[in-house]
Structure formats: structure tokens, C-alpha cells
Chains A and B, each alone.
Chain A
Amino acid sequence: MVSYIVFLLVVAGIYALLAQSLCLAWGVTGLVNLGLAGFFAIGAYASATLTKWGGAPVPVGLLAAMLAGAVAGFVVCVSTLRLRDDYLAIVTLGFAEAVRVVASNEIWLTGGTDGISGIPAGLPRDWGQGFHLAALGIVTAILGLVWLALRRLVASPWGRALRAVREDQIVAAVAGKRVTRLKAEAFAIAAAIAALAGALYGHYTSYIAPEIFQPLITIYVFLAVTAGGNGRPTGAAIGAYLLIAFLEATRFAAEVLPGVSAVQAAALREASVGVALILLLRLRPRGLFPELSQKAPA
């Protein structure tokens, strides 16, 4: 039971990093990233290939993953920044699918659908529970750093400018904000955070494959961020822990449902994610930890 909880806390920490990414892009800047799974994948592959096949140490892999994520984020968002924000949503959705197809078919680069197993963790795996506890410490510490950095960024003049862009691009532009540049910066940084999460996932579990990076992961993170409060890094992080608790709780709930077949229980579990998201958007759209009401300067 303890090892189950430790494992879930590591996974939730990784989801919390994804939630930090979405918080910056969507909550603060108003850019919907439906391709979160794609950036997650890019980070995972960048770090896994460098450390496993390139022999690089894990920290170098993590930095490379963030760089790769930022570059990909920039390329993906740059064509849509002058358009309405829904275009970005469509582009990013397509991006995540494209990443998965490339990862499946470019076997020389990614190992194809076999995936990459035996990714080094930078820690000895034969520590047993100690390995998981150490991983928990590292992931939580990295999450803490990202969270602190994001909080400072959000409170900085740059963060205020991002919120101004979110509230009204035209007003922000009139007020002298470089809207396109601000959006590109925020999106690229957010993509880098998602990529970092992917790299950590690969190192922790030792295995990545294209099938991990499915659109459902993105929906999960939207649920997490909506639950916690999309404009506040603290809320987004707590939302991710709540998400994992919720996903796992539905497992136990499904077991006690009478007269439901296994596939029906599985369908109910997936549907409950959608229902929870709809209800939260409707009943508590600002989340459990709403954005502190800072007046965005116009």
C-alpha cells in the first residue's frame, strides 16, 4: 500500500508539472494547448535518446528536453499567434497526433512502436523502495522549483502583461504590449515545462512508447488545472494531485458497482473524467484556488 502511494505521488508530481505548463499557457496567457501530450512526448524522447543512446548524464537530458520542448512550442504556436485562439487549439491537437505518428514510424530515431526500454534513471533501481522515495524527492523538488519560478513569473511585470493579453489583446496592444512576442514566450516556456515532465516520466518508469502519449493525457491535465484553478500555479499543482486521487478512486468505486461488466465499468471510469470536467467548469470554473484578484493593468 505504501509503495502504491509513493508511486502515485511521483506520477502526480509529473502531472503537476504538466499542470504548471497548462497553467502558464492557458490559465495565465489564455492559449489553449490541446497538444500537451505531444510536448510531453518530445521531452521524454529527447532525454531518453540522449541518455540511453548518447550516454549523456540525466541532468543534461532534462535540459535538452526543455530546450527541445521550447523549440517545438515556438514552432507550433508561431503560425497562429496573430489569429483567434481557437486556431492554436486545433493546431496543437494535430501536433500531438503528428508526434505520435512520427514516434511510431521513425524507428531509427525513436525505437518505433517498441519504444525505448531501460532508460537510465541516474539512480540505482535496485534500491527497491528507496529508489521510489528518492524519485519522489527529486520530482517533488523539481516541481517545487518550477512552481516557485512560475509564481514569481506570474507576479512579475511580464506575468501581468500576459494576463493583460489574455483579458484583451487589442487593449494590451494599444497599451504598448508586444502581444505576439509575449504569447510566443509564454507558450514556449510552457512547452518546455511539459517536456521536462515527459523526461522525468521516462527516467522514472524506464520505458517510453508512442502509445503513452495519447490525447486522453491532455484531457486529464485540463481536468486537473480546472479543478485546482487555472490561473494559479498553486491551484494547478494541487489539482494534479486531486486528479490522480480521483482517477484511482474511480478504480475502487468501479469494483463495487453491481451488475456492471468490466468494459462497462471502464467506460464509466472514462466518462466520469468528462463529467467531472463539465461539472467543474460549470459549478466552479475558477477552481478550488481561484486566481488572486490582481487587477491586470490595461
Chain B
Amino acid sequence: MIITTRRTALFAGASLLAAPGLVRAQGAPIRLGTLTPLTGAGGPYGPVMANCVKSVVSDVNAAGGVLGRQVAVVSEDDQTNPEAGVRAARKLIDVDRVAAIMGTWASAVTTAVAPLCWESKTFLATVSGADSITALPHSGWLIRTQPNTTLQGRKFGEYAVELGAKKVFFMAPQTPFTQSQLANMKPPIDRAGGSIELLIYDATKPSLRTEVDQVLRARPDLIVLGGYTPDTTVLLRDIFRAGFRGKLLAYAYSVNQQMLSSLPNDVTEGIYTLAPSPAEGSGGFDRVKRIVGNDNPDPYTCQIYDQINLILMAMAVGNDATGQGIRDNIRKVSQGGGDRVDNAVDGLRAIAAGKKVDYDGASGPCDFTDAGDITDCKFRYEQVRAGRQTLIRIA
């Protein structure tokens, strides 16, 4: 306990030094936790997510904090493992007494951590994709910024049709959403008179040549890549080498900046990607670009950016910095009309001025159903050209 207090004191001290002359925030800091994978299979995603939250919070602290209090972020590692994730969550909940936990990535970690959160009245915001998560009996203690596979799968299927595909192959490792992604891609493709098949591969295999051969033997005109960055890198190399001339469609979280800079341009040329997106002209996406320092921020980073902003504003609008306050008020800042804001600093200022805000973030409009799923979002349709994501449209 002593350690934590000292650390937060240091944190608060540092931000005061960084912003001299600003209103000094009163009272004990409000604590929020991030629980992202820093080691293990999710390791490529978690670190930048944790950094993004810290960056948003330091801006807010510099502008005076929330409810006159500074905000402290405690970052824990879930090790992409539910057992380690549960231990870390217990520490965040019981020792740090965080009001909310953000960023759980692996669906298994989220499912394991969720009961702890609702039992302890801690708010949980996740980026996990498995449909089963929002079906948990969480009574409002959980939101998810990742589109569920019903929505995402349908968009993938429709886009495959739009790209003129008749014979689609879906290549993916075994994940909690592989099957339902397939099930939701299928109807639009079937309606267009096409067909789709699935091949599940082993994501730890250093070469997927034979798998690619197997798929190409069916002569698909479009392959949907359903993996994460490390295995999709292997897959793309082998697809390229096999001389596949059809189209490729992937999640933007796998064909991301890291991958584009680790593969030669001609391998990634022409890949289509989909990512959840706010409406055109929203400033949130540009803010995340600035925070992470590149033009293709990861969809997960965009989502955790939205989570922290929403949580900070929910506390302010409800005048309640607890998990309960966040749960009861988050929909008052995420939806329902009002001043459009894309960051918490502006939002907090508007709330202080007594205005109603409606947040539009980096990953979408962030409107939530009662179950905690996003009601709808636009998608960024992008294509990789010369090693860069190029926006085709937002729709």
C-alpha cells in the first residue's frame, strides 16, 4: 500500500511540475487500471495500449484532473493468461481499488476477469471479440468497444462480395470468434451466389506453405485472413510466394503498422483491411495517431483511447468517481446527443460548463446497447499501398 501511495504521489507530483500554474487538484487521486497483455501471445498489442491510456490521463491531469482530483493509472500485465490475469485483476481491485479496468484483450482473460469486476463493482471495458462476453450476466458492469462478430463478420462478408469474390477462403487460427466470424460472413456471400470455406491453422507454425497450397488448390479469388500479427506475417509470406493473384482481406489489427514495417512492400501490397471507425471527420483518430506517433494506430489502441475518455467523462458527469458512477453514467456521455467531443479534456470542460456531451471516438461513435455492445459503427475500409494504409472510405 505504502509503495502504491508513494508511486501515485510521485505521479501526481510529476504532472504538477509538468503543468505549473494550473489549478491544483485536491483530494486523493482517482485510480484506474489497465490490464493488457505485455507478455505472451498478446504481447505485440498490450504495451502501446497501456501507453495510450497514460498519455490521455496525463493530458487530463495537466488540465486539472477529474472532479478536482488527479487521476492515477496502474498498469498490470495479464500475460495473455486468464490465471495471471485474474491475479492481476484482484490486485487492481482489492489493493489499488481502481474504479475501472480497461483493455482486457484475450477473450479468455476477459471472461475470467469479468465476474471479479461485477462482484466488486468495478467497471470493465474490454476489446475482446468473442460474442459470449457481452452475454455474461454482468448487469451493466461491462462494455466492449470491439464490434462483435455478428457485425464484423457481416461486414467482412459484404465487402468480400463487393470486391467481386465468388470463392472465398477464410484462414484463421482457432480463436473464440473463428467459428462465428465464419457463420456471419457466410450469408452475404451465399446470397451473392458465392461460397466460403474455412481452414484452421496452427498459429505457432513457422511456415504455412502446405496450408496455403491446400487453400490455393480450391482456387479462391479472395482469402480472408483471420489471425493476429505474428501468424498473419507468416501466412502472408507464404501466400505471396505461392504466387496468389487474388485479393486479400484482413483485420486492421493484424495488418498493422508493425507488420507493414516488418514485411517487404510487395508482400502487403493491395491487402484490404477493415477496422471499426468513427464517422468521417472525427478528430479522435487523429489524436491517437499523434499519441502513438504513426499514421496507422492499431484498432485496439483506438479502442482503449475511447475507453479511458469515456470513463473519465462518465465520472465527471455523475459526480461520482467509483465503478458504480461509471456504470450508471457512461451512456450519458457516450450517446444521446449533445456537444460532439472526441477527447476527455474538451468533454470535461463542456461538462463543467453544464453541457450534455456525446462522445465520438477513435474507434467509432461509441454508443452502447444495454448488454454493453456497441450499437453500430462505421468501418474504415483501407487498402495497403506501398507499405501504407490508404483510406478507401469510411462507411
- A and B part of one assembly: yes
**Distance A261 CA – B54 CA, assembled complex (angstroms):** 11
Please determine whether A252 and B4 come into contact, CB atoms closer than 8 angstroms. Answer: yes
Please determine whether B176 and A255 come into contact, CB atoms closer than 8 angstroms. Answer: no
Known contacts A4-B94, A105-B174, A255-B3; A248/B108 CB under 8 A:
no
Please determine whether B107 and A128 come into contact, CB atoms closer than 8 angstroms. Answer: no
Q: Specify the chain B residue showing the minimal Cβ separation from A211.
A: B108
- Residue from the list B79, B95, B136, B178 in contact with A4, Cβ < 8 A: B95
**Distance A7 CA – B95 CA, assembled complex (angstroms):** 12
- Residue from the list A113, A214, A217 in contact with B174, Cβ < 8 A: A113
**Distance A205 CA – B108 CA, assembled complex (angstroms):** 12
On chain B, the residues within 8 Å of A269 by CB distance are: 77
Is B69 interfacial (CB 8 A cutoff)?
no
- The minimal Cβ–Cβ distance linking B47 to chain A, given in whole angstroms, is 4
Please determine whether A255 and B7 come into contact, CB atoms closer than 8 angstroms. Answer: yes
Is B150 interfacial (CB 8 A cutoff)?
no
Please determine whether A211 and B76 come into contact, CB atoms closer than 8 angstroms. Answer: no
**Distance A263 CA – B43 CA, assembled complex (angstroms):** 8
**Distance A214 CA – B109 CA, assembled complex (angstroms):** 13
Residues facing A in B99-118 (CB within 8 A) are 106-109, 111-112, 115
Please determine whether B39 and A212 come into contact, CB atoms closer than 8 angstroms. Answer: no
- Residue from the list B95, B112, B178 in contact with A209, Cβ < 8 A: B112
Q: Specify the chain B residue showing the minimal Cβ separation from A217.
A: B83
Is A267 interfacial (CB 8 A cutoff)?
yes
On chain B, the residues within 8 Å of A252 by CB distance are: 3-4
Is B139 interfacial (CB 8 A cutoff)?
no
Residues facing B in A203-228 (CB within 8 A) are 205-212, 214, 216-217
**Distance A265 CA – B74 CA, assembled complex (angstroms):** 12
Please determine whether B39 and A117 come into contact, CB atoms closer than 8 angstroms. Answer: no
**Distance A34 CA – B298 CA, assembled complex (angstroms):** 37
On chain B, the residues within 8 Å of A7 by CB distance are: 87, 90, 94
Known contacts A104-B174, A211-B81, A212-B82; A267/B111 CB under 8 A:
no
Known contacts A7-B94, A261-B47; A1/B79 CB under 8 A:
no
On chain A, the residues within 8 Å of B46 by CB distance are: 262-263
Known contacts A107-B179, A114-B130, A117-B136; A128/B91 CB under 8 A:
no
Is B30 interfacial (CB 8 A cutoff)?
no
- The minimal Cβ–Cβ distance linking B118 to chain A, given in whole angstroms, is 11
**Distance A205 CA – B202 CA, assembled complex (angstroms):** 28
- The minimal Cβ–Cβ distance linking B200 to chain A, given in whole angstroms, is 7
On chain A, the residues within 8 Å of B93 by CB distance are: 4
* Range of interface residues on A (Cβ < 8 Å): 35 or more
Q: Specify the chain A residue showing the minimal Cβ separation from B73.
A: A262
A71-112 Cβ-contact flags toward B at 8 Å (1 or 0) = 000000000000000000000000000000100110100001
Is B335 interfacial (CB 8 A cutoff)?
no
- The minimal Cβ–Cβ distance linking B307 to chain A, given in whole angstroms, is 16
- Residue from the list A8, A201, A255 in contact with B90, Cβ < 8 A: A8
Residues facing A in B167-190 (CB within 8 A) are 174-176, 178-179
- Residue from the list A8, A115, A206, A216 in contact with B79, Cβ < 8 A: A216
Please determine whether A128 and B119 come into contact, CB atoms closer than 8 angstroms. Answer: yes
Q: Specify the chain B residue showing the minimal Cβ separation from A263.
A: B47
Is B88 interfacial (CB 8 A cutoff)?
yes
**Distance A207 CA – B119 CA, assembled complex (angstroms):** 15
- The minimal Cβ–Cβ distance linking A248 to chain B, given in whole angstroms, is 7
Residues facing A in B183-227 (CB within 8 A) are 200, 202
Please determine whether B81 and A212 come into contact, CB atoms closer than 8 angstroms. Answer: yes
On chain A, the residues within 8 Å of B94 by CB distance are: 1-4, 7
- The minimal Cβ–Cβ distance linking B179 to chain A, given in whole angstroms, is 7
Q: Specify the chain A residue showing the minimal Cβ separation from B41.
A: A211
Is B316 interfacial (CB 8 A cutoff)?
no
Is A174 interfacial (CB 8 A cutoff)?
no
Is B75 interfacial (CB 8 A cutoff)?
yes
Please determine whether A211 and B38 come into contact, CB atoms closer than 8 angstroms. Answer: no
Residues facing B in A1-41 (CB within 8 A) are 1-4, 7-8, 11
Q: Specify the chain B residue showing the minimal Cβ separation from A269.
A: B77
**Distance A205 CA – B84 CA, assembled complex (angstroms):** 12
On chain A, the residues within 8 Å of B136 by CB distance are: 117
- Residue from the list B77, B81, B176 in contact with A112, Cβ < 8 A: B176
B9-41 Cβ-contact flags toward A at 8 Å (1 or 0) = 000000000000000000000000000001110
On chain A, the residues within 8 Å of B115 by CB distance are: 125, 206-207
Is B50 interfacial (CB 8 A cutoff)?
yes
Please determine whether A207 and B111 come into contact, CB atoms closer than 8 angstroms. Answer: yes
Please determine whether A263 and B108 come into contact, CB atoms closer than 8 angstroms. Answer: no
**Distance A209 CA – B50 CA, assembled complex (angstroms):** 25
Q: Specify the chain A residue showing the minimal Cβ separation from B54.
A: A262
Please determine whether A114 and B107 come into contact, CB atoms closer than 8 angstroms. Answer: yes
- The minimal Cβ–Cβ distance linking A252 to chain B, given in whole angstroms, is 5
**Distance A107 CA – B94 CA, assembled complex (angstroms):** 35
On chain A, the residues within 8 Å of B132 by CB distance are: 114, 117
- The minimal Cβ–Cβ distance linking B231 to chain A, given in whole angstroms, is 14
**Distance A172 CA – B316 CA, assembled complex (angstroms):** 74
- The minimal Cβ–Cβ distance linking A96 to chain B, given in whole angstroms, is 14
Is B6 interfacial (CB 8 A cutoff)?
yes
Residues of A within 8 A of B (CB): 1-4, 7-8, 11, 101, 104-105, 107, 112-115, 117, 125, 128, 201, 205-212, 214, 216-217, 247-248, 251-252, 255-256, 261-263, 265-267, 269-270
Question: What are 17 A-B pairs at a CB distance below 8 A?
Answer: A4-B93, A8-B87, A112-B176, A114-B111, A114-B176, A115-B112, A205-B112, A207-B111, A208-B82, A211-B80, A216-B79, A251-B88, A255-B4, A255-B7, A262-B46, A263-B39, A266-B39
Residues of B within 8 A of A (CB): 1, 3-4, 6-7, 38-40, 43, 46-47, 50-51, 74-77, 79-83, 86-88, 90-91, 93-95, 106-109, 111-112, 115, 119-120, 130, 132, 136, 174-176, 178-179, 200, 202
Top 5 A-B residue pairs of the complex, sorted by shortest distance between their CB atoms: A4-B94, A209-B108, A266-B38, A263-B47, A266-B77
- Known pairs A207-B112, A256-B7, A266-B39 / 16 extra A-B pairs, C-beta < 8 Å: A1-B1, A1-B94, A3-B94, A4-B90, A114-B107, A114-B108, A115-B176, A117-B132, A117-B136, A210-B108, A255-B7, A262-B38, A263-B47, A266-B79, A269-B77, A270-B79
